Structure 1
Amino acid sequence: METVEDLIRDFSSKLGAVAGEFSSRADRIIASGCLSNGASTGQAAEHHDLVAQARHHLAVRKARRRHFPTDLFHEPAWEMLIALFVIYETDHSMNVKALVSCSDAPATTSQRWIDHLHKSGLIDRVTDPIDRRRVDISLSEQGNEAMVRYLTEVAGLA
């Protein structure tokens, strides 16, 4: 039987997914030039292209899992980095439960990768001051810069 805390965490996770969808729609509107958030339209379009490329990476990985055993191509850290990049400019962070669900890995494996990514300086962890059990994860500035460089390089190879 689920506890109230479990239900709240699940609800919070689902709200985060809804917020992510609204944020991605806002990104598309900003990138189309209809709105401006202080950045030039060219910069917004360039960022939107990288986010679209990151989303494409996630979609390709999910498609691959539908056709092949998941343990053949298991990279939970990479899937978490891509998911965090996609939301970096909008929501900026994701709770641990939502991030673990992005990786399609057991919670313990995902938690070990979160620890490793944090020690590597690629992500930041912030404990919610109201609910100390809730931890929000975001790309660090270093992690975001690395993702931008990688996606830009990969786009140049295509």
Structure 2
Amino acid sequence: MLEGSRGELGKRIIDPGDQKLLRHLIATMGSLQDETLRILFLDGIGRLIADEQVQRGTVHQLVIYPRPIFRRAMEHNAASLILVHNHPSGDATPSEEDLIATRALVQISRSLDIEIVEHIVVTNSECRRIMKSRPRPNTTAKSAGQHLRDSASDRSSSEQARTDQALANARRAVRRRLLRQQLFGSPEILGEPAWDMLVELFIHECEDKPISTGSLCGAVERPLSSAMRVLQKLCDAELIYRAEDPSDGRRQFVRLAPSVAHRLHAYFSEGGET
């Protein structure tokens, strides 16, 4: 479908309500005999990257599997996507199964920072947009007033906002790592344990929560012996350091070196991993 779509759609930003797009979908999918899932993968400004048929069902139903959808989205480095599937019955009314599947996919996509722009149902005569009337999620940062701090350590609102944004971006990086492992498996192939440790430490320090050596090693999805070797390498490189727990001499906490904490703050304040 890609070549035809690029000719029809590839020169402008894709709008799911565009009548030219909807006519194109009716012409190319409206007469299919079996339910078929098609994905329009879009770049950061909404232009078409790829147009692919990813799953096919029967005349009566289509089982949607999230893994191949988001695997392809990440392979294309897509910022957003439009789901399209047909109803061979000729009735474009979204079924309850369509609505449930859409909600599930939207939830996964948010964690991956991939926007599902729309889910369109196509027949031989019309298109229905499942998400047209759904309100967009509020992504505005929560008020800094929720943070309670001693006045002696109070910071300017702009500095606090940057820290809040850096923390949110770091958390998102962790969620993306976990979801990559769920989608593709094999953390040994995809993981970067030293970086994962630094991000975990950064999050804990932003939250003013100490983290022990054992907890940090357990956060990186590696055998304990391997994780301990990584931790020691970071200590040897003076990127992190150990500190004794004053209440328990058997336990050690781990902290970022101040210069590393400063650089991570700058990195995640600017967006970090996307």
CA distance in 2, matches of 1:114, 1:35: 31
1:55 to 171, 187, 193: 171
Q: Secondary structure at the match of 1:149?
A: helix
Task: Specify the alignment match of 1:81 in structure 2.
Answer: 198
Q: Secondary structure at the match of 1:136?
A: strand
CA distance in 1, matches of 2:147, 2:168: 18
Larger Rg: 2
CA distance in 2, matches of 1:157, 1:107: 26
> Of Structure 1 and Structure 2, which has the larger fraction of its residues in helix?
1
CA distance in 1, matches of 2:168, 2:238: 24
Q: Unmatched 5+ residue regions in structure 1?
A: 1-27
1:110 to 227, 246, 269: 227
Task: Specify the alignment match of 1:12 in structure 2.
Answer: none
Q: Secondary structure at the match of 1:45?
A: helix
Q: Report how far residue 129 of structure 1 moved.
A: 4.4
Q: Report how far residue 34 of structure 1 moved.
A: 4.7
Task: Specify the alignment match of 1:25 in structure 2.
Answer: none
Distance 1:90 1:67, change over 3 A: closer
CA distance in 1, matches of 2:241, 2:187: 28
Q: Secondary structure at the match of 1:98?
A: helix
- Spell out, residue by residue over 1:68-105, the C-alpha distance to the aligned partner (whole angstroms, 9 max, x if none): 12221121111111111011133353011111121111
> Of Structure 1 and Structure 2, which has the larger fraction of its residues in strand?
2
Say what the alpha-carbon RMSD is for the aligned residues. Answer: 2.3
CA distance in 2, matches of 1:55, 1:140: 20
Compute the TM-score of the two structures, normalised by the length of structure 1.
0.71
2:208 to 91, 101, 114: 91
Compute the TM-score of the two structures, normalised by the length of structure 2.
0.43
Q: Secondary structure at the match of 1:125?
A: strand
Q: Secondary structure at the match of 1:126?
A: strand
Residues 10-89 of structure 1 mapped to structure 2, 5 A cutoff: 32-35=144-147, 37=149, 38-68=154-184, 69-89=186-206
Identical residues among aligned pairs (%): 26
Q: Secondary structure at the match of 1:48?
A: helix
Distance 1:71 1:35, change over 3 A: closer
Q: Unmatched 5+ residue regions in structure 2?
A: 1-140
Which structure has more relative contact order (CA 8 Å, sep 6+)? It is 1
Distance 1:39 1:136, change over 3 A: same
Q: Report how far residue 124 of structure 1 moved.
A: 1.8
Q: Secondary structure at the match of 1:39?
A: coil
Distance 1:157 1:73, change over 3 A: closer
